[in-house]
Structure 1
Amino acid sequence: MLVFVIPLKSPQVSNSWERVTQSFERCIKSICNQISPDFHAIVVCHEQPKIEFNHPQITYITVDFPPPNETNPIARGDTDKGRKILKGLMYAHQFSPTHTMAVDADDCISKNLAAFIKQHPNSNGWFINKGYKYKEGSKYIYIKRKKFYSMCGTSNIIRYDLNFLPENAEYNRGYGYYKYYIDHGKVRDVLENKAKPIEPLPFPGAVYIVETGENLFYGSMKLNFNIFDRKSLTQSVKDEFGLYTL
C-alpha cells in the first residue's frame, strides 16, 4: 500500500486560508483519484479544512505544536512542514504501507501512482525526474524534463523503512531534526550513499503548481518557463492529475 502524507499549513500563517483550502481540496481529490484502491491519505494540520469532498481513505490528524511565527525560530515554516511530515509518517505505521509519499497540499499527482507501487512492493522507491509545472489559471502546462525532484516537494516515493523513523518521535526540535523529511532534493543522494538507491519514476508523476500565493520556497519568478517546454493543458492531463482551475 502507498500512503500519502500531506502537511497543511496553519490558517494563522496563510496569506489566504480560503485559497489554501481550495488548493488542498483539489490536491486531495487528485490523490483520491487513484486507479488502484491500495492507498491511504494522511492530512496533518493545525485546523481541519472545511471542504465538501469526503473519502473513506482520508485520515485527518490535528497537531497541537505551535505554528510558525517570527518570534520562535524553532517554529519556522520549513520546520513546521517537517514535523508534520514526520507526524504523518509515524501514524502511517498502522496502515502497513510498503511505501510513503509526502505531497505538498497545493500540488496534483498522477492517478497511476498507487497501481505502479503495488506492482513493485519491495523496491527502495522512486524520485520524480520528469513532471509538470503549472501557473495557476493558465491554459498551458510546462514539462520539466529532468530534476523535477529538485524543485518540488511532491517528488519522492520511499519504501517505508527507508524513512528512518525514530523510535520515539519528537516535535519540539529545530530544523536539523526534520531535515531528511524536508530536503526533498537531497533524498536521492542520501539513499545512494546508504547503498539504498531509488530509481527515476518511469512516467511524469506530479504537477508542481505555482502562483498560488502560498508557495513556501518558490514562486514563479524563480522558475524557468521555457516556451519550448510549453504545451496545451489537455483534457487527458487534467484527468490524469485531477487538475482544474480554481
Structure 2
Amino acid sequence: MLAFVTSLRHPANSADYSRVESLLEQTLRSVCSQTDDDYVVIVVGNQRPSFTLPPQVHFVAVDFPPPVTFGELHAPRDAFVRDKGTKIAAGLIAARRFRPDQVMIFDADDFVSRRLAAHVKTDPSSPGWVISDGWMFSRARNVYRPVSHFNRTCGTSFVVPYEAYQVSADIRVDASQDELIAAFGDVLTNIMGAHRGAVEWHRARGRELEILPFRGAVYHVDTGENHSGKSLRGLAFPSSRRFRQEFGVPYGQGPVWTAWSAFGPVALVETVQAKALSVAARLFRSFARPS
C-alpha cells in the first residue's frame, strides 16, 4: 500500500485561506485519481477543510502555533521546517495503522500521476523512488514545462519505504511539536520538513533510491500561496487533455487564450530575456575566475 501524506500551512500565515483550501481540493482530486485503490491519504492541519473530503482521505488536526507572526506569509527556513516537519510526523503516525509499504510526502497544491499506487504495488519492498524528471504547471497561464532535477525543485518527489521514517511505536499522533522533534530527530529535519538533500541523506544510510521511470508529479506555481514564490515564465506547452488526465489537473482557459499564453509575444520576450541573462551570467563567471 502507498500512503500519501501532506500538511497545510497555518491559517494565520496565509494570504487567503479559502484559496489554500481550494488548492488542496484540486490536489486531492489528483491524488485520489489513482488507477489502483490500494492507497490512503493523510492531511494534517490546524483547521479541518470546509469541503467534503474524499473517502480515502483522513484528516489529522493539530494545534501547533503559527511558524511566524500573525499576518506574515513566509517563514524562515528553520521555522518552516519545524512546522512542516512536525505536521508530516503527525501524519506518518496516523498512517501507521494502515501499514503502508511506501510513503509519498506531497505538497498540498501539487499534482501527482494516477499511476503511482499501481507502480508501488509492482514492487512494494523497493528501496524507494525519486522523481528526477517532472513538470512545472501554471494554472494562471494554463501551461506546463518539463523540469529536470525535479527533486531539487519540488518536495513532491519521493516515494520511500515507511520504515525509512523510523516511526516509533510509542509516539502518539497528539504528541507536541517538541515531542515529535525529539522522537524523529534528524529524520524530521532532513527528509520530512525538507527535500533538497534527501537523495544523499538516504544514500549515506545505505538506501539507494531508484529513479521513477515516468514523470510522476507536477510542481504547481503561480498560485499566490507558494512558499517559494516561483513562477513559470517564457514559452511552454499548452495544457493538453493527456496531461490533465494523467495528473488530474483542472481545465483552465480556452484553447485560444492558452495558446496565446504559451507562445505569444510576452512568453517569447521572457524566454529571450532569460537566455540573455543566462549567457551574461556565464560570461561574468568566466571573467571572474582567477587566471
Q: Do the structures match in fold with TM over 0.5?
A: yes
SS at match of 2:12: helix
Q: 1:62 and 2:68 equivalent?
A: no
Instruction: Work out which of the residue numbers 117, 121, 139 in structure 2 matches 1:118.
Output: 121
Q: 1:179 and 2:189 equivalent?
A: yes
TM-score of the superposition, structure 2-length normalised? 0.76
The aligned residue for residue 133 of structure 1 is: 136
SS at match of 1:68: coil
Cα drift, residue 42 of structure 1: 0.3
Q: Could you tell me how far apart the structure 2 residues matched to 1:234 and 1:161 are?
A: 38
Distance 1:192 1:218, change over 3 A: farther
Partners of 2:140 and 2:223 within 8 A in 1: no
Q: Could you tell me how far apart the structure 1 residues matched to 2:39 and 2:244 are?
A: 21
Question: Gaps (5+ residues) in structure 2?
Answer: 253-291
The aligned residue for residue 213 of structure 1 is: 224
Distance 1:91 1:241, change over 3 A: same
TM-score of the superposition, structure 1-length normalised? 0.89
Cα drift, residue 164 of structure 1: 2.5
Instruction: Work out which of the residue numbers 147, 154, 159 in structure 1 matches 2:156.
Output: 154
Q: Could you tell me how far apart the structure 1 residues matched to 2:77 and 2:33 are?
A: 36
Cα drift, residue 201 of structure 1: 0.6
Cα drift, residue 66 of structure 1: 1.4
SS at match of 1:40: strand
Q: Following superposition, which runs of at least 4 residues in structure 1 exceed 6 angstroms of deviation?
A: 71-75
More helix by share: 2
Which segment drifts farther, 28-37 or 67-76?
A: 67-76
Structure with bigger RCO (C-alpha 8 Å, 6+ apart): 1
Partners of 2:129 and 2:212 within 8 A in 1: yes
Q: Could you tell me how far apart the structure 2 residues matched to 1:128 and 1:139 are?
A: 23
Q: Could you tell me how far apart the structure 1 residues matched to 2:140 and 2:102 are?
A: 32
SS at match of 2:208: coil
The aligned residue for residue 232 of structure 1 is: 238
Bigger-Rg structure (1/2)? 2
Amino acid at match of 2:159: I
Distance 1:69 1:130, change over 3 A: same
Distance 1:75 1:139, change over 3 A: closer
Distance 1:73 1:22, change over 3 A: closer
Identical columns (%): 33
Cα drift, residue 182 of structure 1: 1.8
Q: Could you tell me how far apart the structure 2 residues matched to 1:46 and 1:135 are?
A: 27
Q: Could you tell me how far apart the structure 2 residues matched to 1:183 and 1:78 are?
A: 6
Distance 1:74 1:219, change over 3 A: closer
RMSD: 2.4
The aligned residue for residue 81 of structure 1 is: 84
Amino acid at match of 2:22: Q
Cα drift, residue 166 of structure 1: 4.4
Number of residue pairs the alignment of both structures matches: 239
- After superposition, give the CA deviation of every residue in 1:95-139 in whole Å (9 maximum; x if it has no partner): 000000111000010000000001111101011101100122223
Cα drift, residue 73 of structure 1: 8.2
Distance 1:207 1:17, change over 3 A: same
- After superposition, give the CA deviation of every residue in 1:8-36 in whole Å (9 maximum; x if it has no partner): 11211111111111100000111100000
SS at match of 1:185: coil
The aligned residue for residue 93 of structure 1 is: 96
Partners of 1:66 and 1:75 within 8 A in 2: no
